[in-house]
Copies of this chain bind each other. A is one copy, B any other.
Amino acid sequence: MPEQEQITAQAGDVAMLVGTDRRRQIIRLTPGQVLQTHRGMLAHSDLIGLPWGSRVVSHLSASFLLLPPSIHDLVLHLQRTTQIVYPKEAGYLLLKMDIGPGTQVLEAGTGSGGLTLMLAHAVQPHGRVYSYEQRADIQRLAQKNLEKAGLQDVVEFKLRDIAAGFDEQNVPALFLDLPSPWDYLPQAQAALAGGGHFGAILPTTNQVEQLLAELERHDFGMLEVEEIMLRPYKAVPARLRPMDRMIAHTGYLIFARKIIPDCSSVVKTARAGQAD
């Protein structure tokens, strides 16, 4: 966390430059390099040594803010070839699935690594993200995105089909970001700890219905379906109003918990009855 240990931007730091039009560019500060913006150039060496939060101007006199990017900024600006899970959903599922510092979490597929990044950020430094992906090119993109954020050591990337099952067992949380998660429920059951958290995100209602039906058949309980909607406002004090347009849909979140199918665990607490 650069902003906690130091007051000024240093060579090697990841920095974000924000124009007055709110356009953001994220760079690694490197002496000798020059940032090209649509409103002029900024020399990295002029930025190095400045306090975070400074206003700087380009050679065309356009004003920029020099800021450390948040994990939210990094996710929205990572390089992607696939649809990503957005912070509005990710923040919620982290709490819902009890993912925090030290958690071991399974994810499939990796995709461009948006959710991987937020999982890694949440469980670092002692937790671990096991992230499965079938396509090598997509996995490489995710790896690059994690490296840019300096979180690559928290993630174990695996390149293979999850139909053969996961390597891990007894994990407390598992998230499937796949078109047909119902195909992998036995594998998910085998990997999850008893009471462990299952999560998925799906764009269509047909998929949600199918997943719910299969979850019921595979010893999952406490099924929940939720949507998170983010409504942005124009932050002008004298003319406060919602933005004209918003993202109306990214996906339905589905949550469930692994139930122990063994009937022998259905213990009637007889002594409680005796105490009556």
**Residues of A at under 8 Å CB distance from B?**
1, 3-4, 7, 18, 22, 34-35, 40-43, 45-47, 50-59, 61, 63, 65-68, 70-72, 75, 87-88, 90-98, 100-104, 118, 121-125, 170-172, 193-197, 203-206, 208-210, 212-213, 216, 221-249, 252, 254, 257-260, 262, 265-273, 275-276
A16's nearest neighbour on chain B, judged by CB, is B195
A42 to chain B, nearest CB (A): 5
List the B side residues contacting A125 at CB < 8 Å: 101
A209 contact from B92, B172, B237, Cβ within 8 A: B237
CB contact under 8 A between A225 and B229, given known A51-B265, A53-B260, A272-B59: no
A46's nearest neighbour on chain B, judged by CB, is B269
List the B side residues contacting A71 at CB < 8 Å: 95, 98, 100
Q: B248–A195 contact, CB under 8 A? A: no
Q: A270–B102 contact, CB under 8 A? A: no
Q: A272–B53 contact, CB under 8 A? A: no
Q: B98–A70 contact, CB under 8 A? A: yes
Q: B228–A212 contact, CB under 8 A? A: no
A36's nearest neighbour on chain B, judged by CB, is B272
* 7 cross-chain CB contacts under 8 A: A41-B269, A43-B272, A46-B267, A50-B267, A101-B101, A206-B239, A244-B248
Q: B194–A210 contact, CB under 8 A? A: no
List the B side residues contacting A57 at CB < 8 Å: 266-269
Q: B204–A240 contact, CB under 8 A? A: yes
A243's nearest neighbour on chain B, judged by CB, is B248
A173's nearest neighbour on chain B, judged by CB, is B3
How far is A272 from B232 in the complex, measured between Cα atoms in Å?
A: 35
Q: A95–B102 contact, CB under 8 A? A: no
